[in-house]
Amino acid sequence: MIAHFPPVNHQLVWPDPAKSKYEKQKSLFRKNMTCIICGKCKDGVVLVADRKVICSTNSVEARDKIFMDFTPFVVASSGYTTSFDNFRREAKDLAVRSRGFRVPGQQVFATVPYDPTAFSGVAIYTSSSLWPHPTIPLANYLDGLRSIVKRYKSEVNSDPTYEFDVVVASRAEDTGSAYLSYIDENGMIDDRETWKRYIVIGSYETRIAAEFLIKPVWNHDITMDEFAELAYFIIKYVDRFKTDITVGLEGQKPLVWLIPNIRTPSKASDSYIEALESKVNQMLDNYSRDGIRLLTNRSS
């Protein structure tokens, strides 16, 4: 059987340099320009983020990317900073409305009754000292956040390449346990309690690199300190060797938040960061000098 094909035009068409530059810039801003590494460890939850933000004017800034606007909810997101700023405001308003917490200048909302059937009866309190009345159960609050994220996907930006992923870490006083939940751009909640207890959001390239380093050493007995060191190393590696231009530190140190099972969530102390900085810098120096020879068993 002989196949008949239409004639082919072999004329070469060279790309328009101006258009190529525009498309390159456009594709850059469509990417998730961040890296946030999160893990549910045996003694709590750890979130570690880079600092680099590329603005629409092509200027570069260093900003915090993890926040606790309403204790004990620690929230981080990939995507455009304006959307995340708006999301933070709505998430805080949701917590205020749900819990009946009094805000100066605003009306007092009725306290939501505690529902022991929701999320195995996990209740969230507003500080390390128990609030006299339980707040809205965690599952209800996450469901409200899911609705906000889904609306942002459908209303704030119709670009199909736009991503808005959110992670929420918190702890419950009644169970003495920290929780990590991932909400994707479609509003779906993936509870990190059940299977893969870590997540990396943001730049696709750095997500792949982080998975490459985390997966071989991950286990359910990993501690917060061990995971913080690993995540800190990954972000410092990307920044030092410039493996992803959308992720970096801009002269600052990675941002680390700790959500222990037994204490109030907090940003890592200066001394904690300095200890990580010293150790990880030495590790990077060693790798830069010796490469994979570091993997050789030198005891033999």
pLDDT in tens, 13-38: 444 444 444 344 444 444 557 899 99
Q: Report residue 280: phi and psi, to 5°.
A: -70, -40
The number of beta carbons lying within 10 Å of the beta carbon of residue 85 is 11
Q: What contacts 242, CB < 8 A, 6 or more positions away?
A: 248
In the predicted model, what is the mean pLDDT of the chain?
75
Ordered by where they begin, the domains of the chain are 29-281 (3.60.20.10)
Separation in Å, CA 214 to CA 137, 202, 226: 32, 16, 11
The number of beta carbons lying within 10 Å of the beta carbon of residue 61 is 11
167-223 tens-digit pLDDT = 999 887 666 788 898 987 777 777 766 556 899 998 888 889 899 999 999 998 999
Give pTM, 2 decimals.
Answer: 0.77
